[in-house]
Amino acid sequence: MDYHLFTDTLIHKLESDPQVIGVVLLGSTASQKRKPDQYSDHDFFVIVHMGVQQRFRDMVTWLPYPDRIVFHYQETEHGCKVIYDDAHLLEFAIFSPQELLMARANAYKVVVDKANITPLMDQVAQHSERPRKPDHYYWGQFLGHVLVGCQRYWRGERLSGHQFIKDYALRDVLAMVHKHIERQAGAGLDNLDRFRRVEQAFPEITKALDDLLLLPPPDAAQTMIALMETHFSHLDSYPQQAMQTIKDYLGNHG
């Protein structure tokens, strides 16, 4: 499926629909700072008149090539996903103008605007960036996730152990990486998702994090603690005693 032809067809169909009052392309679909590549899906918002939102979420005939759709479902209150027969993915949300202010977005391009959608999107973008919590919060989250993850793994709850270490604790580490490690020049990060494009921005620590994900959860946890000590022990917020306590605990129960 030709990516740009799909985009043009989508805009043309929606612009001619009297129920549609706005279309906003998102992420790489917007072709702003980052252009779509062979792995890009289509991300967009459709703003419609009040009262017809659910009809647009439930039906797919307004999309390009509806006969090629193999799966469609509503993922959230406003958002849907569609998969085509060539595995091309759409992620979109249907809003009324009032509901649009509940959305989050960073890179975007308003391509259909029949009712002052552009200033609404300006407001959305201004309020979308994830607020940063104090270091004390992330240290506490990290220590708790590491401890519970290892204990569950040892208890026999192995999948839960993987989740706590390789998902929850990893998120805590990346929060600190974003806050305190200088990123590579020119690397663009996603302020809505701390996992996106971190490999380009922080190549050294993210390579180590990627490698440890192949380890059993207790070993991954101990490696994470060593990384945190290497990169963040110079911070005034670093909880030396608590980190050593968890480090000793894991070492004694390995």
Q: Is the pLDDT of residue 187 over 60?
A: no
C-alpha 66/C-alpha 85 separation (Å) is: 10
The maximal CA–CA distance of the chain, rounded, in angstroms, is 67
Q: What is the pLDDT of residues 19-35, one digit of tens each?
A: 999 999 998 888 767 78
C-alpha 217/C-alpha 164 separation (Å) is: 9
Q: What is the pLDDT of residues 198-219, one digit of tens each?
A: 887 888 889 999 999 999 999 9
Partner residues linked to 80 by β-bridges: 74, 92
Percentage of residues in the chain having pLDDT higher than 90: 72
Q: Is the pLDDT of residue 235 over 70?
A: yes
Q: Is the pLDDT of residue 62 over 90?
A: yes
Q: What is the pLDDT of residues 112-121, one digit of tens each?
A: 999 999 999 9
The pLDDT of residue 189 is 58
What token pair was written down for 173?
């580490």
Tell me whether strands 89-95 and 108-113 are parallel, antiparallel or unpaired.
unpaired
DSSP secondary structure letter of residue 243: H
Residue 119 CB neighbours (<10 A): 10
